[in-house]
Amino acid sequence: MTSAREIAAAVRSGASTAVEAVTAALARIERVDPVLCAFAEVWEEAALRGARAVDERIAAGEHLPLAGVPIGVKGRRGPRGAGPLIAAGCVPVGATAVPGPGTAWQTWGLGRYGRTVNPWRYDRTPGGSSAGSAAAVAAGLVPLATGSDGAGSVRIPAAWCGVVGLKATNGRLPSADRTGLAAPGVLTRCVADAEAYWRAMAGPAETPGGGERRTPTALWSADLGFAGPDPEPVALARAAAHRLADAGAVRLLPPGRPLRLEDPGPAWLALRDGGDLVTAARVRAVNDRRLDALFRRADLLMTPTTPCAAHGHDGPGDRYSTALTWAFNLSGHPALSLPAGLGRDGCPVGLQLVAARGREELLLAVAGSAKW
């Protein structure tokens, strides 16, 4: 699968056209999606019109950083949040699958042809709720798809489908979520494409500060003090963290006093569904203080993305796949899931990187050093 940046470079140079790139994506979707079920809708006519418009803009001399890149957008309302991507030259080809009625766990999607499957194993869920976006990117139908993350809904499917998933700092990009728990995000096959997404959505990178550049520091936590993850995703994520350190991307600090957050689940549920808001405020305040202290000591926090491997389509039982992600929806910190390896079942798991609020650039720079 050609990356988004490679597609855009070819279209800008005249080596290819947006119409060719979009036509190829539509052909892949037609061939694969009856099994994958990653798309709820495909907008063939609109996509080709959009591609022709991009080719006209290029011919007129306009510089489009994402010229002709076919993208999936999460849900039928996805184009509303993709305006900056479309302005940068992206062409939405369809709405990716999200959970249908009765899927209270938000762990799978409902596409045109049925339930969305994990490209690595069809008997496993891709995760949710950005299920279709993760599956479409992992299977190479499109190089980039948008998501939204209210409790891990970008990072969990990214981990279970073996792709990159970025959740922005809460409130930094527009979101329709009135609780403030959800933030926009993206799923891509490579970090460079996630960085291109971020440039389009957030604008040019801030000018680096003066002084000597140094290797970012990172702290590892297997469980955030409460989560009880399974041994295998912990081992794979820890090994991925050490590979980043071996590559010189980060400097792992000695463990010292372990991070112990309060379980954010009850607070998250109270804010989302109504409940004990006094207790929710207390949990949020306690965790914010502990995370603020951590980020005074280190630049990054590293954890497994999920406490368990991808489960089957019959549901996870009483296991919360959000155990290691929703703390950062409550706190608002940006977070990124990076592929960490394959479990014994043949399915991917992820390494989660978390940074101080507003430091998406740091997440992308460190993740971009991964060579696996």
The predicted pLDDT at position 372 comes to 66
**271 half-sphere exposure, CB direction, 13 A CA radius:** 23
**Are 4-202 and 217-369 the same fold in CATH?**
yes
- Of how many residues is the chain composed? 372
Tell me which architecture the domain covering 4-202 has in CATH.
Alpha-Beta Complex (3.90)
Which stretches of the chain drop beneath a pLDDT of 70?
104-105, 205-212, 372
Closest CA to 115 of 41, 42, 35, 32: 35
129 is catalytic: yes
The predicted pLDDT at position 339 comes to 98
Annotated catalytic residue within 16, 130, 148, 153: 153
The predicted pLDDT at position 216 comes to 98
167 is catalytic: no
Tell me which architecture the domain covering 217-369 has in CATH.
Alpha-Beta Complex (3.90)
Q: Where are the beta strands (DSSP E) in 23-120?
A: 39-42, 70-74, 91-96, 110-111, 114-115
Annotated catalytic residue within 16, 129, 133, 175: 129
Annotated catalytic residue within 74, 133, 221, 331: 74
Read off φ and ψ for residue 93, nearest 5 degrees.
-105, -10
Task: Give the SS3 label for residue 162.
Answer: coil
The predicted pLDDT at position 232 comes to 98
> Which sequence spans correspond to the domains of the chain?
4-202, 217-369
